[in-house]
């Protein structure tokens, strides 16, 4: 049995996979079982920030595996402490809780916001306002936070206490805050799964002000947009707002599972012993990987992300079959005249792996994708878009 056949036989069919069997890779190029090479413009959905089998990342991981791979959270280990310090230095936040995924980082954020608000305003203050078309994860609580009904069907009842309003509607936001006892407002700066849609600056600023005036924690979900993806370390930095809680995951570990929930000065004391936990959270190997990734996203790297982004926008903006290009940095959505799925399968044929998000082709290449490799991929994508 090939591993494709074995997978189909034994793995629960929650993913519609492309008929490609990947066996190895280096940087932004992966190879399938037949030796065919593909340029990876999805980087494992924004996870392999420095590509496949990056040498510095590998060294950080293998060195830590050689020391201690896991110790439980009953003892102190160094990688988590170093990573937490780096995250706080990069953001001005005060405390970090480590989880294993984006959804779990968001679970922590929701618990932190609810506990903070319950202590300050009483048990009835629990409603979290999120945005329509958002995506916050697949657990029953983060599904409740996700403002897309397609994901909810047949899983009811979801965790109560969530309402979603139209993105960029200040009016709906104000109304929701007036009519509910609100424990938190949660949003992605660029809706990723929702179609690579950046929020309006005025809306984000107003949301921050509403949060400040009403002492409501502002939660920014940077699971996809974080860690240099958009040309800033975190996407909220494009908006000059100060969130109370920031979550991140995907690119953070460069390919190992880690999520983080960052708490501002105001919320830093919300959790005490026993209030939250995770067996694998803060795993030393994952933390060493994440430290290696984050410490390499310096000013120069961010400039590089912006330059490559400008190249992609310039190349695609007026290309045949392209209606519009959205996003920031190396998080890009392309509205194509052909169905996005058709463009993606033509790219696959021609050796380029792309993603979709709603009706768009989505690109999330590795931050360090070489310019020449990127140029090749964009030429293929342009050809596939052509009508
Ligand atoms: C992917 C994603 C999540 C969920 O992350 P998992 O690691 O799959 O749990 C949450 N929020 C956003 C914005 C995401 O893009």
Ligand 1 centroid vs 45 CA: distance in angstroms? 10
Residues 232 and 358 in one domain: no
Query: Which of 102, 190, 193 has the most ligand 1 atoms within 8 A of CB, as the residue to mutate?
Result: 102
Query: Which of 136, 141, 245, 246 has the most ligand 1 atoms within 8 A of CB, as the residue to mutate?
Result: 136
Residues 238 and 317 in one domain: no
Domain boundary residue, one of 235, 262, 294:
294
Which pair of structure tokens corresponds to residue 111?
A: 């618990």
pLDDT of residue 369: 98
Query: Residue 193 CA: which ligand 1 atom is closest?
Result: 15
Query: Residue 225 CA: which ligand 1 atom is closest?
Result: 13
Query: Residue 257 CA: which ligand 1 atom is closest?
Result: 7
Do 361 and 328 contact (CB within 8 A), yes or no? Answer: no
Ligand 1 residue neighbourhood (C-beta within 6 Å): 101-103, 106, 135-137, 188, 192-193, 221, 223-224, 249-250
Domain that holds residue 224: 57-294
pLDDT of residue 370: 98
pLDDT of residue 36: 98
Ligand 1 centroid vs 59 CA: distance in angstroms? 27
Ligand 1 centroid vs 51 CA: distance in angstroms? 19
Residues 160 and 272 in one domain: yes
Residues 228 and 284 in one domain: yes
pLDDT of residue 237: 98
> How much of the chain is helix, strand and coil, in % rounded to 5?
40, 20, 40
Ligand 1 centroid vs 58 CA: distance in angstroms? 24
Give the whole-angstrom CA distance, residue 346 versus residue 92.
Answer: 44
Give the whole-angstrom CA distance, residue 169 versus residue 288.
Answer: 41
Q: Which residue is it, tokens 């340029």?
A: 39
Ligand 1 centroid vs 330 CA: distance in angstroms? 17
Give the whole-angstrom CA distance, residue 141 versus residue 216.
Answer: 19
pLDDT of residue 61: 98
Which pair of structure tokens corresponds to residue 178?
A: 């007036």
Ligand 1 centroid vs 153 CA: distance in angstroms? 19
Residues 266 and 375 in one domain: no
pLDDT in tens, the chain (387 residues): 999 999 999 999 999 999 999 999 999 999 999 999 999 999 999 999 999 999 999 999 999 999 999 999 999 999 999 999 999 999 999 999 999 999 999 999 999 999 999 999 999 999 999 999 999 999 999 999 999 999 999 999 999 999 999 999 999 999 999 999 999 999 999 999 999 999 999 999 999 999 999 999 999 999 999 999 999 999 999 999 999 999 999 999 999 999 999 999 999 999 999 999 999 999 999 999 999 999 999 999 999 999 999 999 999 999 999 999 999 999 999 999 999 999 999 999 999 999 999 999 999 999 999 999 999 999 999 999 999
Residues 154 and 246 in one domain: yes
Within 10 angstroms of residue 276's Cβ, the number of other Cβ atoms is 17
pLDDT of residue 105: 99
Domain of 16: which CATH number?
A: 3.90.1150.10
Domain boundary residue, one of 272, 294, 316:
294
Query: Which of 137, 251, 254 has the most ligand 1 atoms within 8 A of CB, as the residue to mutate?
Result: 137
Residues 187 and 286 in one domain: yes
pLDDT of residue 167: 98
Residues 6 or more apart whose Cβ sits within 8 Å of residue 150? none
Name the closest-CA residue to atom 6, ligand 1: 102
Give the whole-angstrom CA distance, residue 216 versus residue 194.
Answer: 25
pLDDT of residue 329: 98
Ligand 1 centroid vs 103 CA: distance in angstroms? 6
pLDDT of residue 154: 93
Do 136 and 130 contact (CB within 8 A), yes or no? Answer: yes
Do 134 and 146 contact (CB within 8 A), yes or no? Answer: yes
Query: Model confidence over 289-300: pLDDT tens digits?
Result: 999 999 999 999
Give the whole-angstrom CA distance, residue 264 versus residue 149.
Answer: 31
Query: Residue 106 CA: which ligand 1 atom is closest?
Result: 10
Ligand 1 centroid vs 223 CA: distance in angstroms? 5
Ligand 1 centroid vs 259 CA: distance in angstroms? 9
Task: Kindly state the helix (H) or strand (E) to which residue 357 belongs, with its residue range.
Answer: strand 355-357
Domain count, the chain: 2
Domain boundary residue, one of 273, 294, 315:
294
Residues 288 and 306 in one domain: no
Residues 29 and 167 in one domain: no
DSSP letter (8 states) at residue 148? -
pTM over 0.75: yes
Residues 315 and 190 in one domain: no
Residues 169 and 77 in one domain: yes
Ligand 1 centroid vs 104 CA: distance in angstroms? 9
Name the closest-CA residue to atom 5, ligand 1: 102
Give the whole-angstrom CA distance, residue 342 versus residue 346.
Answer: 6
Residues 254 and 317 in one domain: no
pLDDT of residue 138: 97
pLDDT of residue 98: 98
Domain of 119: which CATH number?
A: 3.40.640.10
As to burial, measured by CB atoms within 10 angstroms (0-12 exposed, 13-18 middle, 19+ buried), residue 190 is: buried
Within the chain, residue ranges assigned H as helices are 3-10, 43-46, 55-67, 78-91, 102-121, 140-145, 170-179, 201-214, 284-296, 299-317, 340-349, 371-385
Q: Give me the numbers of helices (H) and strands (E) for the chain, helices first please.
A: 12, 17
Query: Residue 104 CA: which ligand 1 atom is closest?
Result: 9
């Amino acid at each position: 049995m090939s591993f494709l056949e074995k997978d189909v036989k034994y793995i629960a069919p929650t993913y519609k996979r492309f008929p490609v069997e990947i066996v190895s890779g280096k940087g932004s190029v992966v190879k399938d079982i037949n030796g065919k090479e593909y340029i990876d413009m999805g980087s494992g959905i924004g996870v392999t920030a420095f590509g496949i089998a990056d040498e510095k990342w590998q060294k950080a991981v293998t060195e830590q595996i050689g020391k201690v791979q896991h110790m439980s959270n009953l003892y102190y280990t160094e990688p988590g402490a170093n990573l937490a310090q780096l995250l706080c230095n990069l953001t001005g936040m005060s405390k970090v809780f480590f989880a294993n995924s984006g959804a779990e980082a968001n679970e922590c954020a929701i618990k932190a916001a609810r506990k903070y608000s319950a202590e300050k305003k009483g048990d009835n203050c629990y409603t979290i306002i999120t945005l329509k078309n958002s995506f916050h994860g697949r657990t029953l609580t983060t599904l409740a936070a996700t403002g897309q009904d397609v994901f909810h069907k047949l899983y009811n009842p979801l965790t109560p206490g969530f309402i979603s309003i139209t993105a960029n509607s200040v009016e709906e936001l104000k109304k929701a805050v007036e009519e509910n006892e609100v424990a938190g407002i949660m949003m992605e700066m660029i809706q990723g799964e929702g179609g690579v849609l950046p929020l309006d600056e005025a809306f984000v600023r107003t949301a921050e002000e509403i949060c400040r005036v009403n002492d409501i924690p502002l939660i920014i979900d940077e699971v996809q947009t974080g860690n240099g993806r958009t040309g800033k370390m975190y996407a909220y930095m494009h908006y000059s707002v100060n969130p109370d809680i920031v979550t991140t995951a995907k690119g953070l570990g460069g390919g190992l599972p880690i999520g983080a929930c960052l708490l501002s000065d105001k919320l830093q004391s919300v959790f005490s012993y026993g209030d939250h936990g995770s067996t694998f959270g803060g795993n030393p190997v994952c933390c060493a990987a994440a430290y290696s990734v984050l410490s390499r996203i310096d000013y120069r790297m961010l400039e590089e992300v912006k330059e490559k982004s400008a190249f992609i926008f310039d190349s695609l903006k007026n290309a045949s079959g392209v209606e519009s290009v959205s996003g920031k940095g190396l998080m890009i959505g392309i509205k194509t005249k052909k169905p996005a799925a058709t463009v993606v399968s033509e790219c696959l044929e021609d050796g380029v792996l792309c993603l979709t998000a709603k009706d768009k082709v989505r690109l999330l290449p590795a931050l360090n994708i070489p310019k020449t490799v990127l140029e090749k991929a964009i030429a293929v994508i342009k050809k596939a878009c052509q009508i």
